[in-house]
Amino acid sequence: MSEPLPAVDESTLYLVRHGDARQDKVKRYIGQIDLPLNAVGRSQIFALQRTLDEIDFGRIYSSDLSRCLETARIIAGPLGKNISTDPNLREIALGEWEGQPMASIRERFPQEYTRRGREMVDFSPPGGESFRDLQTRVIPAFLQIIRRASGTVLLVAHAGVNRTILCHVLGLPLDELFQVPQAFGCFNIIERRSEQLTVKTINQVGGHL
């Protein structure tokens, strides 16, 4: 049974990227590998929590990966809130490239590495997804959340997921997604008025509002 539409047909969605979860200084392909926040990442999200502390989030949604769920729990604060998780909000799946150093992939698979840079939207690593696949998975989940929500809601996800959502709302082609900045621990604001979606803020970090 579907949820009833809200009485007030508008909502504001805070779209957050999780904090830093890198476990070393090596540049790696990190997609759906499940990493916790590191110490810097937790500091970033506590700063964000202080920035968003007075906002009353009626609902909180999150990717079910640890770095996002921990981010959502910190922002929810000491009182805690029910957090709805959705695997459709996970980062792009990178298949056999997951966790591998970028330099190693470039050396071992030079043609595939070059092709991914040239055909970013449609190239899939072995066993993984393309960014078009990611878009197909993420956008319906995002639209269900924002269309059914009323008031102010929080959605915690990943850089690739957030960029895909922002490109959709801004009407940008998917091959421009890396032109949309998404720092660790940043937030974006998307407003909905009936069916109209508007991006109000992009890539704002904790300490500023």
- pLDDT per residue over 56-101, tens digit each? 999 999 999 999 999 999 999 876 678 999 999 999 999 999 999 9
Which position among 3, 10, 54, 91 bears the catalytic label? 91
- 3-state SS class at 193: strand
Residue 4 pLDDT > 70, yes or no? no
Domain that holds residue 138: 10-26+35-93+130-205
Residue 72 belongs to some domain of the structure: yes
Task: Name the DSSP letter for residue 175.
Answer: G
CA angle in degrees (0–180, nearest 5) for 155-201-73: 25
This prediction's pTM:
0.93
In this structure, is residue 200 part of a structural domain? yes
Q: Would 198 be classed as within a structural domain?
A: yes
Q: Is 158 a catalytic residue?
A: no
Question: Residue 192 in 3-state DSSP?
Answer: strand
State how far the Cα of 155 lies from the Cα of 30, in Å rounded to an integer.
20
Residue 41 lies in a domain: yes
Tell me what the mean pLDDT of segment 117-135 comes to.
Answer: 96
**96 catalytic, yes or no?**
no
Q: Which of 18, 70, 129, 158 is catalytic?
A: 18
- Dihedral sign, CA of 137, 193, 82, 206? positive
Asked whether the CA dihedral 8, 190, 53, 80 is positive or negative, the reply is: positive
**2 falls within a domain:** no
CATH number at residue 56: 3.40.50.1240
Asked if residue 99 belongs to a domain, the reply is no
**Tokens in use for 28?**
């790696």
**Tell me, what's the pLDDT at 206?**
75
In a domain, 195, yes or no: yes
| Rounded Cα distance, 165 and 179, in Å | 13
Domains: count for the chain: 1
Q: What is the pLDDT of residues 108-122, one digit of tens each?
A: 999 999 999 999 999
Asked if residue 112 is part of any domain, the answer here is no
